C-alpha cells in the first residue's frame, strides 16, 4: 500500500499498520507546517527585497490574539498526535490474549527460541499467520533488543527479568529479526529470520521437528529434580502455596503489597524469594539463583502456567 514511498520498509503485521498510519500522519502534518513556513518566508523575502517597490507603510503591530491563536492551534494539533501515539504505545506494550506463546532467550550472540510443544530453533522463529503471538523474552548475559522491522516491534531483553511483547503477522514470508542493542563484538551478526507460515504449513513444521516432550513436561521434570515438588506438591508437609491456578491471579504479599502472578513475578519467586514473601506463609522458599539457567527457568514457568490460571495475564 505504501510501497511507492522510497525506502518504505515491509509491512507484515497488524502492529505495523497501526504504526504506519501514525507515522504518515506525523510526516504529513510536519510537512504541511514546514511548507507553510518556507513558502511564507520565501514570499516575504521576494516581496520585500531591497529593490522592490512594495509599500512598507502601515506596519502591523504585534498582536497577542494572533500569537496566542497560532501557538495554541499548533499545540493542540501536536497534542492530538501525542495522545494518538500514547494510545498506540499502550496497545503495543499490553499483550492481548495470545493464541500462541513462544519463549525467546537472547545470549551473545544468538536468539534461542522454544515453542510450547518443545520445538527449539536458533536465530529463527516460525509462526502462523493471522494469530496473536506472545513472546516471553529473557537474556542470559547482557541487554539485547529484539527488533522485527517489518512488524514495527522492538523490545529490550534485559538480564534479570522477563519481558513480554506480542505481534500478529498478516502476511506470510520471511522477515528479518535483528538485535538493536550493542551487545559485544559480534553484535552485528546477531540476526535471525521470522518465518510466517499458513496454519497448515506451521502445523506441519511443528510436527517435523522431532521433539519428545513439551516445554511444560520438561518443566515438570525440573520441578521434581530441583525439589520444588517436595514443598509445593500435594503430599508435602511443608506449608507452601499450591501453584495450581496461580498464573495471572493477584498475589497478596506479607508486606501488604499485591502483585500479578505474571511471568516476571514467577521468575522473581524462584530467583529472588528473599525479597518478598507470600502472605500467610513462612519465608522458607530457597533461593535458586545460580542453579537454574534461563532455559530451565522458562520451562519451570511454562509448567507452572500449565497448572492453570488466568492465561491472558499481561505483563
Ligand atoms: C523448602 C520448601 C520449598 C521449595 C523446595 C520450593 N519452594 Fe517455592 N515456596 C515455598 C514457600 C514456603 C513459599 C511461600 C513463601 C514465600 O513466598 O517465600 C513459596 C513460594 C513460591 C512461589 C510463589 C507462590 C505464590 O502463591 O505466589 C512460587 C512460584 C514458587 N514458590 C515456585 C517454586 C519453584 C519453581 C521451586 C523449585 C525450583 C520451589 N518453589 C521450591 C517453599 C518452597
Ligand atoms: Cu544482542
Looking at residue 143, its pLDDT comes to 95
Average pLDDT over residues 272-281: 86
User: How far, in Å, CA of 231 to CA of 235, rounded?
Assistant: 8
Looking at residue 111, its pLDDT comes to 95
Same domain for 222 and 288, yes or no, is yes
Enumerate residues 6+ apart whose C-beta is below 8 A from 176. 148, 149, 150, 191, 192, 193, 194
Q: 105: part of which helix (H) or strand (E)?
A: strand 100-107
For the chain, how many structural domains are there in total?
3
Chain position carrying cell 502455596: 241
Same domain for 229 and 301, yes or no, is yes
Kindly report, residue by residue over 232-275, the tens digit of the pLDDT.
888 777 788 888 888 988 889 888 888 888 888 999 889 888 88
Ligand minimally distant from the alpha carbon of residue 265: 1
Same domain for 222 and 202, yes or no, is no
Q: How far is the CA of 182 from the centre of ligand 2 (A)?
A: 6
Average pLDDT over residues 17-21: 92
Q: What is the CATH number of the domain that holds 300?
A: 1.10.760.10
Kindly report, residue by residue over 116-150, the tens digit of the pLDDT.
888 889 999 999 999 999 999 999 899 999 999 99
Examine the pLDDT at 2 and tell me if it is beyond 70: no
User: How far, in Å, CA of 164 to CA of 157, rounded?
Assistant: 9
Categorize the per-residue pLDDT at 279 as very low, low, confident or very high, splitting at 50, 70 and 90: confident
Same domain for 266 and 194, yes or no, is no
Evaluate whether residue 8 is within a structural domain.
no
Pocket of ligand 1 (CB under 6 A): 226-228, 230-232, 238, 240-241, 243, 246, 251, 261, 266, 269-270, 273, 277-278, 281-286, 288, 300, 304
Kindly report, residue by residue over 193-239, the tens digit of the pLDDT.
999 999 999 999 998 888 878 888 899 999 988 888 888 888 777 78
Kindly report, residue by residue over 48-94, the tens digit of the pLDDT.
898 888 888 888 787 888 889 989 998 998 899 999 999 999 999 88
Q: Return mean pLDDT, the chain.
A: 89
The domain boundary residue, chosen from 182, 207, 232: 207
Closest protein CA for atom 37 of ligand 1:
228
Same domain for 86 and 111, yes or no, is no
Between the alpha carbon of residue 249 and those of residues 15, 188, 209, 242, 255, the distances in Å are: 27, 40, 34, 13, 18
Evaluate whether residue 55 is within a structural domain.
no
**246: its cell numbers:** 496461580
Q: Which domain holds residue 244?
A: 215-306
Amino acid at each position: 500500500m505504501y510501497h511507492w514511498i522510497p525506502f518504505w520498509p515491509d509491512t507484515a503485521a497488524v502492529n505495523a499498520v497501526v504504526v504506519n498510519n501514525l507515522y504518515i500522519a506525523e510526516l504529513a502534518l510536519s510537512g504541511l507546517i514546514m511548507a507553510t513556513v518556507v513558502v511564507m518566508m520565501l514570499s516575504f523575502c521576494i516581496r520585500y527585497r531591497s529593490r522592490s517597490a512594495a509599500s512598507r507603510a502601515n506596519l502591523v503591530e504585534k498582536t497577542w490574539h494572533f500569537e496566542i491563536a497560532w501557538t495554541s492551534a499548533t499545540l493542540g494539533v501536536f497534542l492530538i498526535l501525542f495522545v494518538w501515539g500514547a494510545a498506540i504505545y499502550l496497545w503495543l506494550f499490553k499483550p492481548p490474549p495470545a493464541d500462541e506463546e513462544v519463549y525467546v532467550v537472547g545470549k551473545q550472540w544468538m536468539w534461542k527460541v522454544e515453542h510450547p510443544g518443545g520445538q527449539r530453533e536458533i536465530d529463527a522463529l516460525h509462526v502462523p499467520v493471522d494469530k496473536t503471538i506472545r513472546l516471553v523474552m529473557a537474556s542470559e548475559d547482557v541487554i539485547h533488543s529484539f527488533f522485527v522491522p517489518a512488524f514495527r516491534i522492538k523490545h529490550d531483553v534485559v538480564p534479570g527479568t522477563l519481558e513480554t511483547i506480542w505481534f500478529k503477522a498478516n502476511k506470510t514470508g520471511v522477515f528479518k529479526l535483528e538485535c538493536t542493542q550493542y551487545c559485544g563484538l559480534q553484535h552485528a551478526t546477531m540476526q535471525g529470520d521470522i518465518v510466517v507460515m499458513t496454519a497448515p504449513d506451521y502445523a506441519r513444521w511443528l510436527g517435523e521437528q522431532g521433539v519428545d516432550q513439551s516445554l511444560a513436561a520438561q518443566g515438570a521434570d525440573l520441578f521434581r529434580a530441583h525439589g520444588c515438588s517436595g514443598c509445593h506438591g500435594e503430599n508435602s508437609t511443608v506449608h507452601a502455596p499450591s501453584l495450581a491456578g496461580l498464573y495471572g491471579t493477584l498475589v497478596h504479599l506479607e508486606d501488604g503489597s499485591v502483585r500479578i502472578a505474571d511471568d516476571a513475578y514467577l521468575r522473581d519467586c524462584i530467583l529472588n524469594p528473599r525479597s518478598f514473601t507470600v502472605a500467610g506463609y513462612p519465608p522458607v522458599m530457597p533461593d535458586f539463583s545460580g542453579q537454574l539457567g534461563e532455559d530451565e527457568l522458562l520451562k519451570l514457568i511454562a509448567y507452572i502456567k500449565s497448572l492453570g490460571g488466568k492465561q491472558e495475564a499481561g505483563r
